[in-house]
């Protein structure tokens, strides 16, 4: 069985920026907050969030015999990102799911070599698991007022992943909240989606509207999209966060190289034909939207009341 120190050392050598350990027990407080958020209707039309609610906050329901969750984070900030792009920073690089999943699988193999009885399941935003709550519990950072995980080292420009294992390790202390009285994200949100109770109303969130919402926009929603000037996601609450002012450039090769979409002007995006759009979607998180959603989002930018 590998020691904590061996695991941490291997993780750092393999390009994992942050790593922490926490237990696999149910987090009652986070479960209660999540249920209240769902009951308030702020999840919008994301009906899938109402399924497997307890499993999301209890890793033991995901892996029989789960004892520990190893949480990781990788910085994806690139100083090369064009400031005028109409897509979120995280879509301007290689699909993070593949990058983090590969690192978690290699970490699992490394641990398995010294422990044949080890059983583990890796997760990268691919199953009902409360990754931000677990990451805070594992000491990687804290959930900010915009609900994102904020780290001292890289701000909120991080991708998260988890390895749930059937072995017990000493755990890290939860990270304290360091937002203080700052309300930069609340005040800057272009659609008022970030609420005073530290939750986000998805129905008003530009990321939700441009990615998760499948139907046609209402006139109100068209107005919000036009104001934001975004067609995929939204980074306003991150751009204004003081913890994101001095984030170093990522060292991960997959996140340094810019996606072709970064070089497209609005005019060129309008000229995208169906086949070219699906070429751009390959190996990118852009595959979360259909061509119909994409053209709907573009049309909203030119909408006039």
| pLDDT for residue 81 | 56
Strand spans (E) along the chain: 18-23, 68-75, 120-123, 142-143, 149-150, 158-165
Average pLDDT over residues 67-71: 98
| pLDDT for residue 269 | 80
| pLDDT for residue 188 | 96
Dihedral (CA of 57, 62, 68, 72) sign: negative
| pLDDT for residue 304 | 54
- Tell whether pTM > 0.85: yes
Report the share of the chain in percent with pLDDT over 90: 78
Average pLDDT over residues 76-93: 76
| pLDDT for residue 84 | 52
- Phi, psi at 68, each rounded to 5°: -140, 150
**C-alpha–C-alpha distance, residues 125 and 129, integer Å:** 8
What is the pLDDT confidence band of residue 76, given thresholds at 50, 70 and 90? very high
Cβ burial, residue 198 (10 Å; 0-12/13-18/19+)? middle
| pLDDT for residue 31 | 93
Kindly report, residue by residue over 245-287, the tens digit of the pLDDT: 999 999 999 888 777 776 777 777 878 778 888 888 877 788 8
Dihedral (C-alpha) 174, 135, 67, 110: value to the nearest 10 degrees?
-120
| pLDDT for residue 305 | 47
| pLDDT for residue 62 | 94
| pLDDT for residue 87 | 85
Q: Which residues pair with 121 in a beta bridge?
A: 164
The active-site residue out of 17, 58, 81, 125 is 125
Average pLDDT over residues 97-107: 96
| pLDDT for residue 82 | 56
Q: Which residue has the higher pLDDT, 81 or 194?
A: 194
Please give the DSSP secondary-structure letter assigned to residue 93: S
**C-alpha–C-alpha distance, residues 90 and 99, integer Å:** 13
- Residue 23 annotated in active site: no
| pLDDT for residue 194 | 97
Crossing angle for the helix pair 291-301 and 219-228, to the nearest 10 degrees: 80
| pLDDT higher than threshold 70 for residue 303 | no
Bridge-based pairing state of the strands 18-23 and 142-143: unpaired
**C-alpha–C-alpha distance, residues 292 and 289, integer Å:** 8
List, in order, residues 6 or more apart from 202 with CB less than 8 Å away.
42, 43, 44, 46, 193, 208, 212
Average pLDDT over residues 133-140: 97
């Amino acid at each position: 069985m590998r020691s904590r120190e061996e695991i941490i050392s291997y993780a750092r050598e393999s390009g994992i920026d942050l790593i922490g350990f926490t237990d696999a027990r149910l987090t009652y407080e986070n479960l209660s907050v999540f249920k209240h958020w769902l009951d308030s209707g702020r999840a919008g039309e994301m009906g899938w969030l109402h399924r497997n609610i307890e499993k999301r906050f209890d890793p033991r329901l995901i892996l029989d015999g789960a004892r520990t969750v190893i949480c990781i984070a990788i910085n994806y900030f690139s100083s090369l990102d064009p400031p005028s792009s109409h897509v979120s920073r995280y879509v301007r690089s290689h699909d993070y799911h593949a990058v983090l999943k590969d690192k978690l699988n290699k970490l699992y193999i490394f641990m398995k070599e010294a422990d044949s009885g080890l059983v583990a399941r890796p997760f990268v935003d691919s199953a009902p698991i409360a990754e931000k709550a677990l990451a805070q519990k594992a000491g990687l950072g804290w959930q900010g007022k915009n609900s994102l995980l904020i780290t001292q080292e890289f701000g909120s420009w991080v991708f998260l992943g988890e390895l749930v294992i059937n072995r017990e390790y000493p755990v890290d202390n939860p990270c304290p909240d360091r937002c203080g009285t700052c309300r930069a994200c609340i005040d800057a949100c272009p659609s008022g989606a970030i609420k005073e109770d530290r939750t986000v109303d998805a129905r008003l969130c530009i990321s939700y509207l441009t990615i998760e919402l499948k139907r046609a926009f209402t006139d109100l929603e068209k107005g919000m999209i036009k104001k934001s000037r975004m067609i995929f996601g939204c980074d306003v609450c991150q751009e204004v966060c003081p913890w994101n002012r001095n984030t170093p450039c990522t060292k991960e090769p997959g996140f340094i190289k810019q996606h072709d979409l970064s070089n497209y002007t609005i005019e060129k995006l309008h000229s995208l034909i169906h086949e070219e759009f699906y070429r751009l979607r390959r190996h990118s998180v852009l595959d979360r939207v259909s061509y119909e959603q994409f053209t709907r989002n573009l049309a909203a930018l030119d909408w006039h009341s």
